[in-house]
Amino acid sequence: MRYISARQMIFDAYHEQRGSVMVYAQEIARMGAQVQTTQRNNNDWRIVNGLEAGAVISAVENQPAHLAALARYCFGPFTKDELAADRETVEIALYRKMLRDGVKLPGQGKGKPTAQQLETLRYLCMAALYHHSEVTWPYSRRGLNSPKAVKEWFNDYLDIEIDVRFWSRKDRASWGSIWGHLLLLLDQWEAKSLVSVSMLMKNAA
């Protein structure tokens, strides 16, 4: 495996696993001394790759569920269908975190948020995760870089409307301030999800 960056290591590790190298390495470990020397030498690279991949995957998986899901969602070599459960895990974690923090929603006032306001928050969590996955490695795309882009994403992917007229208002709660909070939270979660993998790089140095 290439120890280039924590993000690259996550991609490579899960790619190795998908190629059944992990299964081979586990079988070699189980057989232990029964493995013939010639066979061991011929397959050293497969064993090393498998063990390294296993260490990275273990570092990812032994985290809180939302952090492991975020790491796989952003950096794993998976299809959208394969990532559906991870995407939902992160979206729900974002939504619950915002509610726990008591973030005021636009139009909420002093009372409890309405069902419609909560639904918009849930959808904004979905949009924020989509944006984060687009702008981070390896894509580094523009993502939803403006209120207009967020509005268009809501229309295209959810077939609903979001009011972005007061996106940047500072004197009251706005969806723009909620958006900024969500993106900051995702940045923090990504950084946390990479710490244990980064430690493997330091140990290998």
Is 44 part of a structural domain of the chain?
Answer: yes
Secondary structure (H, E, C), the chain? CCCCCHHHHHHHHHHHHHCCHHHHHHHHHHHHHHCCHHHHHHCHHHHHHHHHHHHHHHHHHCCCHHHHHHHHHHHCCCCCCCCHHHHHHHHHHHHHHHHHCCCCCCCCCCCCCCHHHHHHHHHHHHHHHHHHHHHCCCCCCCCCCCHHHHHHHHHHHHCCCCCCCCCCCCCCCCHHHHHHHHHHHHHHHHHHHHHHHHHHHHHHC
Residue 24 has pLDDT above 80, yes or no: no
Do 101 and 47 share a structural domain?
no
pTM of the model: 0.83
Do 125 and 79 share a structural domain?
yes
Is 1 part of a structural domain of the chain?
Answer: no
Answer with the one of 62, 89, 104 that is the final residue of a domain: 62
Domain coverage including residue 174:
68-192
Do 15 and 83 share a structural domain?
no
* pLDDT tens profile 44-85: 444 445 578 889 999 999 999 999 999 999 999 988 899 999
* pLDDT tens profile 126-165: 999 999 999 998 888 999 999 999 999 999 999 999 999 8
Answer with the one of 42, 62, 82 that is the final residue of a domain: 62
Instruction: Tell me the pLDDT band of 110, cut-offs 50, 70 and 90.
Output: confident
